[in-house]
Amino acid sequence: MASESITSTEYIKHHLQNLTFGKLPDGTLGLAQDPEQAKAMGFWAINLDTLGVAFLLGVLFLYFFSRVAKNATINVPGGSQNFVEWIIEFIDTSVRGSFSGRNKMVAPLALTIFIWIFLMNLMDLVPIDYLPVVAHALGLPFLKVVPTTDPNATFGMSIAIFILVIYYSIKIKGVSGFAGELALQPFSSNNPVIKTVFIPINLLLEGVNLIAKPLSLSLRLFGNMYAGEMIFILLALMGGAWAVASVGNSVLFGTQVLLSLGWAIFHILIITLQAFIFMTLTIVYLDMAHQEHH
């Protein structure tokens, strides 16, 4: 991609565009050939690259962990078993430290969230042009390989967590308890009149707090990963510009390589941290859903 005669703006737009499937202007179903077509497809369009990469990474995660579990031994464990046991122990410690209720679903959910998001984030370390070039050779107009840079993916995960929070809030506290939690906190009074006046204020405050949970989960992950991808794209553009301006200049080439390598090493921390934050907030939100207020 970097070698083609396109402007910097076109290069950036190309790398930020998903492989979108939906209804074309002529009424048929197919792949969008440009961002305008993808935008015109509207709400029911499907980002095939986001779904495909996320699905494959999920299958890889399940296959690896299930294979290690089947071959687990009580004797001297191998490297794979040591790694999986270390991850499970880390998740178990995180859940025990943040979740005070009793729910067998929370730990497996936390493990799935952490590993799956980490793997999706890790795709950002694949050289920016490699997979899009392969996709172009196969006839695909676009390929965006980092699912967490697609807000549809991050919002989908956060909405699923939000549904679980609502479900367990109602299951543990009952409909009346959940409604009372929204209407009678944080302001309350023993005076019935003042208590009634506080209800709409509490509903507004608690409603905003409730809606903010999936928004913060999704936008934090999306924003950090999108910014990281943009920096990789800009570094690729800078390297291409230097290569054209100074053919054979090893200093400029070395500088670009060092910048890219430095950002990639730093980005490993961001990749891991964002997966950990999403997992931790999920555990905390579910813990709050399991707590009964009296």
- The closest of 234, 240, 237 to 263, measured between CA atoms, is 234
Q: Is residue 192 part of a domain?
A: yes
Residue range 31-46: mean pLDDT, rounded:
90
Q: Is residue 63 part of a domain?
A: yes
Helix axes 250-290, 79-98, angle to 10 degrees: 50
Burial class (CB within 10 angstroms; exposed 0-12, middle 13-18, buried 19+) of 116:
buried
Q: Is residue 246 part of a domain?
A: yes
Q: What's residue 3's pLDDT? A: 45
Model confidence at 263: pLDDT above 80: no
What dihedral do alpha carbons 140, 143, 145, 151 form, nearest 10°?
-130
- The closest of 119, 122, 127, 116 to 15, measured between CA atoms, is 127
* CA–CA distance, 114 with 283 (Å, rounded to integer): 11
Q: What's residue 147's pLDDT? A: 95
Q: What is the pLDDT of residues 68-106, one digit of tens each?
A: 999 888 887 788 889 999 999 999 999 999 998 888 999
Q: Rg for the chain (alpha carbons), in Å?
A: 24
State how many domains the chain has.
1
Q: What's residue 2's pLDDT? A: 45
Q: What are phi and psi of 34, to 5 degrees?
A: -155, 165
Q: Is residue 2 part of a domain?
A: no
Residue 1 contacts residue 14 (beta carbons within 8 Å): yes
Q: Is residue 3 part of a domain?
A: no
Cβ within 8 Å of residue 219, ≥6 positions away: 151, 154
Q: Is residue 148 part of a domain?
A: yes
Q: Is residue 214 part of a domain?
A: yes
Q: Is residue 69 part of a domain?
A: yes
Model confidence at 60: pLDDT above 50: yes
Q: Full-prediction pTM beyond 0.95?
A: no
Q: What is the pLDDT of residues 198-256, one digit of tens each?
A: 888 989 998 898 999 999 999 999 999 998 888 888 877 776 555 555 555 555 556 66
Residues labelled catalytic? 216, 220, 224
Q: In sequence order, which ranges of 99-187 are alpha helices (DSSP H)?
A: 106-122, 130-137, 151-183
Q: What's residue 250's pLDDT? A: 58
260 vs 265 pLDDT, higher one: 265
Q: What's residue 53's pLDDT? A: 95
Residue 185: give the domain boundaries: 8-290
